[in-house]
Structure 1
Amino acid sequence: MSLQFKIGDNAVYAGSGVGRITAIEAKELCGIKQTFYRFQLFNSNVEALVPVHNPEAKLRPIITRDDAQRVVSIVQKKDVKVDKQTWNRRYREYMEKIKTGSLYEIAEVFRDLYLLRGEKELSHGEKKMLELARGYLFRELQLCIGEETLKTEDDMVSFLGSK
């Protein structure tokens, strides 16, 4: 059995956030023996068992420095047309992007809401979503770039050139 992750690896669980593989366990479910990653979210007591051999399990490695540069490019792109549809429709679309777990999609949500915030007041839900996207970006970029570079979320915003 080849494993994508080993104990101690940092990873991203789509829709939940960044954490660490704390164990690899065999469990029997419905008479079938399966192997799982035990995944512990950072800054939380939340744990998940993620099947090792399940392509739908949205567990992925932390991005690379090259990927981080692409995230910076996405966020810095200011000539995007911000969707003018109703806030609840926009909210649903953005939530779908966040659920993918793709940091590129999350960067787009962050950028779009950040730009929209300059044009009009965001709804309560949009403000919460902006903070959610900002948190996901921060935690993963901090692991990729280094905690000495990104100590706070404000450092991340400066790093991304979003101010």
Structure 2
Amino acid sequence: LDTMQVWAQVAEADIPKVKVGMGVYFTTLGMPDRRFSAKVVQILPTPETVNDVVLYNVLIDVPNTDRLLMTSMSAQVFFLLDAARNVLLVPTAAVQPLARGGNRREARNEATVRVLVNGKVETRPIKTGISNRSQVQVTDGLSEGDRVVTSPDPAARRTGPTPPRLF
């Protein structure tokens, strides 16, 4: 089979973000280090309910010219909502969103990070771009080579001080 079809179940809350033609990648249980790329070809309009969770089936066609994929394999699918290349990234754990009133859209892209400067930790405002579970794009406020502190702010903890972890 030169083309295989992956059926991905997507939660009701996430289905509005999925579009036909959208890029995806996935790994299989048997080949966790191999990333397969593909595109969404169809979103079935009738959901299934599993354990009181509404799930929509998303069909993904993937080339299988090397014949590594077989029927009934389990896959973990990642949908590409956005992409950025050659950008400045920091760990998600290092970013503290600003809690401000007013324009929520602007506030969503404003945050702070702690940076080590001349042996001292200082808080710096940044503007953020896209993010995933582990990294956040920084669009303003940091430069390549800045030493970002990833450990929690000691002032927010009740235990004794620990040296900052750096990224």
| TM-score, normalised relative to structure 2 | 0.26
Structure ranking higher in strand proportion: 2
| TM-score, normalised relative to structure 1 | 0.27
